[in-house]
A and B are shown apart, each in its own frame.
Chain A
Amino acid sequence: MTDRSEIEAFVKKLYAARVNGDMDALSGAFAEHAKFQIAGSPEVSMLATLAEGHDGVMSLMQTIADSLAFEDFAMLDLVIDGNKAAVRWRATVHQVASGQTFTTELADFIVIEDGKVVSFIEFLDTALAG
């Protein structure tokens, strides 16, 4: 999958699945050897992490889906270059445990091979996230 329109459609489905917590769709979107990283210093931010392999990524996705609900999702920028995509997006996040709600902006760098995500690196407001 290197056609721009295919990548765009794939990315939009991926974000719909993420926002809706659709684990089946997410499971189908990540490759067996995929990695998912939240950029940041683990010493300062508890969210900074790296999950490797399909099971590891899905476990992290499930944790996120269980603890955060997304509303008012908006894709602000989508830059596609070959088999890579960079996405800037905004959403209102509802923390299930605390009941807190905040609007925040994130950036993701995604690499796609054979129609599946092999690398997903996310930047978020680590000070806000805790």
Chain B
Amino acid sequence: MTARREIEVLVRGLCAARAAGDMDTLRQGYAGNATFRIAGSPAGGALTAPLTGHAEIMARFESNIASLPLGDFAIVDLLVEGNQAAVRWRATVRGVNSKDESTTEIAQFLEVENGKVVTLVEFLDTAHATQAAKTEELS
């Protein structure tokens, strides 16, 4: 059982690492058997496809960080209970190719075991993410 304060520090650190593109912190924060899923219809394709295992998750983070870097990151809400956390954060997304900038809000539900994330379910503006990805491809 990870203490509440530890979970809070872990989650805050991982959100900040995601926004800053800090892959070392992200690698350390996820368990080997972690799962990551963006909540959404299977019609969302790769965006909503579930990922299993550290390597798959890190590959996704690297890809996201490379194509859609984040700025002006802020945690808006963080709830912790037992080994679960729910966090809501906001950031500015900037397309590397398109230079398009927009502010978006993300919600995450996490389960933590032995100081590492074992489950991450993320909610984002899937319509906006799909459009941003297409714009990047065309730019």
Contacts and interface: CB of A to CB of B under 8 A. Distances in A.
Interface in A66-91: 77, 79-81, 84-86, 88
Contact of A44 (B41, B44, B127): B127
A127 B79 contact: no
A45 B104 CA distance: 13
Interface stretch (B18-26, B27-35, B61-69, B84-92): B84-92
Nearest to B129: A127
A127 B109 contact: no
Q: Which bucket holds chain B's interface residue count? A: 20 to 34
A63 to B, nearest CB: 19
A55 interface: no
Contacts of A124: 123
Contacts, number: 98
B105 interface: yes
B85 to A, nearest CB: 7
A88 B105 contact: no
Contacts of B97: none
Interface string B111-125: 000000000010111
A75 to B, nearest CB: 12
B40 interface: yes
B39 interface: yes
Q: Is the interface of A mostly helix, strand, loop or mixed?
A: strand
Given A79-B84, A109-B86, A128-B40, A84 B77 contact: yes
Contacts of A84: 77, 79
Interface of B: 39-41, 43-44, 77-81, 84-86, 88, 102, 104-105, 107, 109, 121, 123-131
Given A45-B125, A86-B86, A127-B44, 17 more contacts: A39-B105, A39-B125, A41-B104, A77-B121, A79-B79, A79-B85, A80-B81, A85-B79, A104-B41, A105-B123, A109-B77, A123-B105, A123-B124, A125-B41, A127-B41, A127-B126, A127-B130
Interface of A: 39-41, 44-45, 48, 77, 79-81, 84-86, 88, 102, 104-107, 109, 121, 123-130
